[in-house]
């Protein structure tokens, strides 16, 4: 039986598109990229089972004619896992949006602080000595950091006093969790 070229092409296309989306800074695109990559991997698993045959049901077809059932079982497991994790990732992205009104991959403040430590500050060894004003705007801390922009929820509430905030029923962020 001649091998089909469709599956490898589909796999390659999905992987390429998935990696492209994954490298984007927008988290929603990252999620979409992850979904594409997950589907690409599932198709890869499917193609690892060899050529397609009859449905692998006992008594429906002979052992030589059915397609390999094991990859299908693996795919089912993988789909369930991917589904669950996508849902969780979506929730995290939504949470990120509600917290800082941005759904991009955030900058790492501590990294920037260590990197921005000038020789003058080297002895101080104290990241807080660095004035946020000295940093590039995009290097500054986002969200609730002192000196940064104020709480976006509060800002929105001030601008649209009549609109109900969607920031309800959040778990307490000020409770001691450590």
The residue written with tokens 């004003």 in the block is: 133
The reply to whether 9 sits near other proteins by the rule CB under 8 A is no
The nearer residue to other proteins, 105 or 154, going by C-beta atoms, is 105
The reply to whether 85 sits near other proteins by the rule CB under 8 A is yes
The two tokens of residue 54 are 């009859």
The reply to whether 154 sits near other proteins by the rule CB under 8 A is no
Q: CB of 63: closest distance to other proteins in angstroms?
A: 10
CA dist., res. 15 & res. 9, Å (int)? 10
* Torsion, Cα of 125, 130, 136, 140 (10° steps): 90
Site for other proteins in 26-65 (CB under 8 A): 27, 30, 34, 37-38, 41, 44-45, 47-50
* Interacting residue with other proteins among 9, 16, 76, 124 (CB under 8 A): 124
The reply to whether 77 sits near other proteins by the rule CB under 8 A is yes
The nearer residue to other proteins, 7 or 61, going by C-beta atoms, is 7
Rg (CA), the chain: 25
The reply to whether 99 sits near other proteins by the rule CB under 8 A is yes
Whether 128 contacts 62, CB under 8 Å: no
Q: Which residues pair with 104 in a beta bridge?
A: 26
CA dist., res. 100 & res. 154, Å (int)? 11
Whether 40 contacts 55, CB under 8 Å: no
The reply to whether 153 sits near other proteins by the rule CB under 8 A is no
The reply to whether 134 sits near other proteins by the rule CB under 8 A is no
10 Å Cβ neighbour count for 43? 19
Q: CB of 162: closest distance to other proteins in angstroms?
A: 27
CA dist., res. 15 & res. 17, Å (int)? 6
DSSP string, 30-46: HHHHHHHHHHHHHHHHH
The reply to whether 174 sits near other proteins by the rule CB under 8 A is yes
Which residues are at the interface with other proteins (CB under 8 A)? 22, 27, 30, 34, 37-38, 41, 44-45, 47-50, 70-71, 74, 77-78, 81, 84-85, 88-89, 92-93, 95-96, 99-100, 105-106, 108, 110-111, 113-114, 124-129, 132, 141-147, 170-178
């Amino acid at each position: 039986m001649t091998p089909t070229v469709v599956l490898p092409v589909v796999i390659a296309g999905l992987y390429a598109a998935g990696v492209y989306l994954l490298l984007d800074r927008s988290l929603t695109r990252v999620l979409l990229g992850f979904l594409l990559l997950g589907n690409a991997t599932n198709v890869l698993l499917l193609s690892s089972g060899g050529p397609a045959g009859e449905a692998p049901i006992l008594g429906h077809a002979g052992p030589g004619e059915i397609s390999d059932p094991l990859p299908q079982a693996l795919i089912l497991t993988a789909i369930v896992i991917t589904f669950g994790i996508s849902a969780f990732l979506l929730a995290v992205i939504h949470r990120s949006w509600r917290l800082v009104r941005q759904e991009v991959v955030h900058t790492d403040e501590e990294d920037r602080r260590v990197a921005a430590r000038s020789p003058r500050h080297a002895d101080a060894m104290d990241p807080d000595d660095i004035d946020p004003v000295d940093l590039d705007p995009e290097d500054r801390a986002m969200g609730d950091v002192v000196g940064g922009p104020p709480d976006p929820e509060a800002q929105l509430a001030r601008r649209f006093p009549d609109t109900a905030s969607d920031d309800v029923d959040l778990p307490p962020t000020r409770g001691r969790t450590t």
